[in-house]
């Protein structure tokens, strides 16, 4: 403890070190002019924790916007950003990529200590007066709720009335749990149980933002479990709770809800070490996971992959077995409504939905492979449909499989997935890519000009089918392609005729 205390002291003398000196000089001059500027909130918390410095959070008595404009004047540049949350005195300066936030005292607070007591968590309720910084002396720490002690012990303790003032703070707490690896104190957790339904009040964009940060942390699954335990998750994602108590066939050992969490947990572990599960594809999996929102989409897909099962559940008349026909497609639709409600970006919504809709494909192909060799056509269809998420699909299948431990589960399921993925990649590399490098035999324009067709969804079917026939070597020339399309249309393709 003594050692930690010394380290904290050290930081309190060097608080501004991570930021460019120009910022320190300009703020010092501003403080000399107006007085009463405090470093506060996340800035103090993160510096005391020795974490990388991010934004600068500053508190003043009032007129955050005026402070921003004055700072821009002193810096000789920077952009003013209106934060525009109604009733809050907050504003931002962005200068050379650095964010400086000013906030006036909250509510009717008249002193910094009163302002701090109106914040979310004690670990965020500390401030350092700007005029106590510098000169090699230890800065003064204003800490009315003993946040420093909580910080040392990794405790998230809500400030009095925190959740009634802003219910989003419940979710912020879980975000800090995920990002800082902190734990709630029992009273704060109980308070979340009491206030959970208030989470309907904040704007969904704020909720989505926090959920996204939780998903991006390496502790998303335990954090979601804690949100479930506290009674908060059911108010954010009630769709998941339709799976509680929904029994599954002998392939599984858990009901739908608990299986979904088990898959989520497996997914988080797989993401940490994808090469452990698919050694032959370690490099490409690392690249896939590093790109865009892949990790976030995969974790959501794992948690929601069976979200369609409660609605799809039926009992087969012949043998009394439980079935979930079409649960993947139904799941995609339920998920889409959830993601639209939370105003997700189109990319995240569609990629996650597509993973959910396709999560059974690798298992179907494993079934097929037990009785016949894997065809180029099957691999082409899979890779066309999965698009950028072919790798993700196999990671999701692995998580799903590892989360199922029922008596009737095929004994080599995970090994089969590894073999299948290996073969899929081999067929893509040896048979599909070399063919696909050339220009397509026909384009959408050709279908219009050469064949007089009107554009519509059938174009996609035709072009993908032509590609499959080309990969199989059954059509190699443009004339053959035109002849095939002509025959296909004449056969009544638009009326749902069978593809050859």
Q: What part of residues 462-491 is at the interface with ligand CTP (CB under 6 A)?
A: none
Report d(CA 108, CA 104) in Å as an integer: 10
Q: Which of 89, 115, 120, 467 binds ligand CTP (CB under 6 A)?
A: 120
Query: With respect to ligand CTP, which residue has the nearer C-beta, 53 or 269?
Result: 53
Q: What part of residues 155-194 is at the interface with ligand CTP (CB under 6 A)?
A: 166, 168-169, 172
Tell me the closest approach of the beta carbon of residue 210 to ligand CTP, in angstroms: 9
Report d(CA 456, CA 381) in Å as an integer: 20
Q: Which of 57, 328, 400, 416 binds ligand CTP (CB under 6 A)?
A: 57
Query: With respect to ligand CTP, which residue has the nearer C-beta, 127 or 289?
Result: 127
Report d(CA 105, CA 267) in Å as an integer: 43
Q: Which two tokens stand for residue 406?
A: 């029922």
Q: Which of 67, 78, 115, 119 binds ligand CTP (CB under 6 A)?
A: 119
Tell me the closest approach of the beta carbon of residue 335 to ligand CTP, in angstroms: 27
Q: Which of 23, 38, 39, 41 binds ligand CTP (CB under 6 A)?
A: 41
Query: With respect to ligand CTP, which residue has the nearer C-beta, 92 or 259?
Result: 92
Tell me the closest approach of the beta carbon of residue 302 to ligand CTP, in angstroms: 26
Per CB under 6 A, 92 contacts ligand CTP: no
Please list, residue by residue across 453-474, b when 16 or more beta carbons sit within 10 angstroms of its beta carbon and e when fewer do: beeeeeeeebbebbbbbbbeee
Tell me the closest approach of the beta carbon of residue 370 to ligand CTP, in angstroms: 50
Q: Which of 42, 222, 440, 444 binds ligand CTP (CB under 6 A)?
A: 42
Tell me the closest approach of the beta carbon of residue 176 to ligand CTP, in angstroms: 8
Residue count of the chain, please give it. Answer: 500
Q: Which of 18, 20, 50, 54 binds ligand CTP (CB under 6 A)?
A: 54
Query: With respect to ligand CTP, which residue has the nearer C-beta, 209 or 251?
Result: 209
Query: With respect to ligand CTP, which residue has the nearer C-beta, 99 or 367?
Result: 99
Tell me the closest approach of the beta carbon of residue 86 to ligand CTP, in angstroms: 14
Query: With respect to ligand CTP, which residue has the nearer C-beta, 130 or 394?
Result: 130
Report d(CA 287, CA 284) in Å as an integer: 5
8 A C-beta contact, residue 265 and residue 398: no
Task: Mark residue 84 as left, alpha or beta (left: phi above 0; alpha: psi -120 to 50; beta: remaining).
Answer: left
Per CB under 6 A, 104 contacts ligand CTP: no
Question: Which residues make Cβ contacts (< 8 Å) with residue 65, sequence separation at least 6?
Answer: 80, 82, 89, 91, 102
Tell me the closest approach of the beta carbon of residue 1 to ligand CTP, in angstroms: 24
Residue closest to ligand CTP when measured from CB atoms: 42
Q: Which of 11, 64, 89, 124 binds ligand CTP (CB under 6 A)?
A: 124
Tell me the closest approach of the beta carbon of residue 43 to ligand CTP, in angstroms: 7
Region near ligand CTP per CB under 6 A, out of 54-62, 411-419, 436-444, 487-495: 54-62
Q: Which two tokens stand for residue 298?
A: 């995969």
8 A C-beta contact, residue 347 and residue 322: no
Region near ligand CTP per CB under 6 A, out of 50-58, 284-292, 307-315, 427-435: 50-58
Query: With respect to ligand CTP, which residue has the nearer C-beta, 232 or 270?
Result: 232
Query: With respect to ligand CTP, which residue has the nearer C-beta, 172 or 277?
Result: 172
Q: Which of 22, 55, 216, 228 binds ligand CTP (CB under 6 A)?
A: 55
Query: With respect to ligand CTP, which residue has the nearer C-beta, 166 or 239?
Result: 166
Tell me the closest approach of the beta carbon of residue 225 to ligand CTP, in angstroms: 22
Query: With respect to ligand CTP, which residue has the nearer C-beta, 125 or 386?
Result: 125
Tell me the closest approach of the beta carbon of residue 119 to ligand CTP, in angstroms: 3
The CB density around residue 255, as the number of other CB atoms within 10 Å, is 15
Query: With respect to ligand CTP, which residue has the nearer C-beta, 182 or 278?
Result: 182
What residues line the site for ligand CTP (CB under 6 A)? 41-42, 54-55, 57, 119-120, 124-125, 166, 168-169, 172
């Amino acid at each position: 403890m003594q050692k930690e205390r010394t380290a904290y002291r050290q930081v309190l003398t060097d608080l501004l070190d991570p930021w460019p000196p120009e910022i320190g000089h300009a703020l010092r001059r501003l403080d000399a002019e107006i007085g009463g500027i405090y470093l506060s909130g996340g800035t103090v918390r993160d510096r005391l924790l020795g974490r990388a410095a991010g934004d600068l959070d500053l508190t003043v008595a009032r007129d955050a916007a005026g402070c921003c404009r004055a700072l821009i004047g002193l810096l000789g540049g920077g952009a003013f950003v209106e934060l525009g949350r109604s009733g809050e005195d907050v504003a931002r300066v962005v200068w050379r990529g650095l964010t400086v936030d000013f906030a006036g005292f909250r509510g009717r607070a008249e002193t910094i200590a009163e302002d701090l007591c109106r914040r979310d968590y004690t670990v965020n309720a500390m401030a350092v007066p700007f005029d106590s910084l510098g000169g090699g002396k230890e800065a003064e720490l204003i800490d009315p709720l003993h946040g420093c002690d909580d910080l040392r012990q990794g405790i998230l303790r809500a400030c009095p009335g925190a959740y009634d003032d802003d219910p989003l703070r419940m979710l912020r707490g879980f975000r800090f749990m995920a990002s800082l690896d902190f734990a709630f104190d029992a009273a704060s957790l109980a308070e979340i149980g009491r206030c959970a339904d208030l989470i309907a009040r904040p704007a969904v964009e704020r909720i989505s933002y926090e959920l996204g940060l939780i998903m991006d942390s390496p502790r998303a699954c335990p954090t979601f479990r804690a949100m479930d335990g506290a009674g908060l998750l059911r108010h954010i994602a009630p769709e998941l709770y339709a799976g509680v108590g929904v029994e599954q066939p002998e392939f599984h050992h858990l009901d739908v809800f608990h299986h979904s969490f088990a898959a989520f947990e497996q997914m988080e572990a797989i993401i940490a070490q994808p090469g452990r599960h698919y050694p032959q594809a370690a490099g490409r999996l690392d690249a896939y996971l590093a790109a865009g929102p892949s990790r976030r989409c995969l974790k959501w897909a794992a948690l929601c992959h069976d979200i369609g099962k409660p609605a799809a559940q039926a009992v087969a008349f012949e043998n009394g077995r439980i079935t979930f026909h079409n649960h993947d497609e139904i799941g995609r639709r339920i998920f889409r409504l959830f993601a639209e409600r939370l105003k997700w970006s189109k990319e995240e919504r569609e990629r996650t939905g597509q993973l959910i809709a396709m999560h059974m494909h690798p298992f179907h192909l494993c079934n097929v492979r037990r009785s016949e060799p894997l065809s180029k056509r099957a691999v082409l269809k899979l890779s066309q449909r999965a698009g950028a998420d072919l790798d993700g699909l196999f990671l999701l299948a692995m998580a799903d499989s590892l989360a199922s431990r029922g008596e009737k589960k095929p004994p080599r399921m995970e090994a089969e997935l590894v073999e299948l993925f290996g073969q899929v990649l081999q067929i893509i590399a040896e048979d599909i890519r070399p063919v696909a490098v050339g220009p397509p035999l026909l384009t959408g324009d050709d279908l219009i000009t050469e064949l007089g067709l009107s554009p519509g969804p059938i174009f996609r079917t035709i072009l993908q089918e032509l590609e499959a026939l080309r990969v199989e070597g059954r059509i190699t020339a443009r004339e053959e392609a035109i002849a095939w399309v002509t025959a296909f249309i004449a056969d009544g393709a638009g009326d749902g005729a069978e593809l050859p």
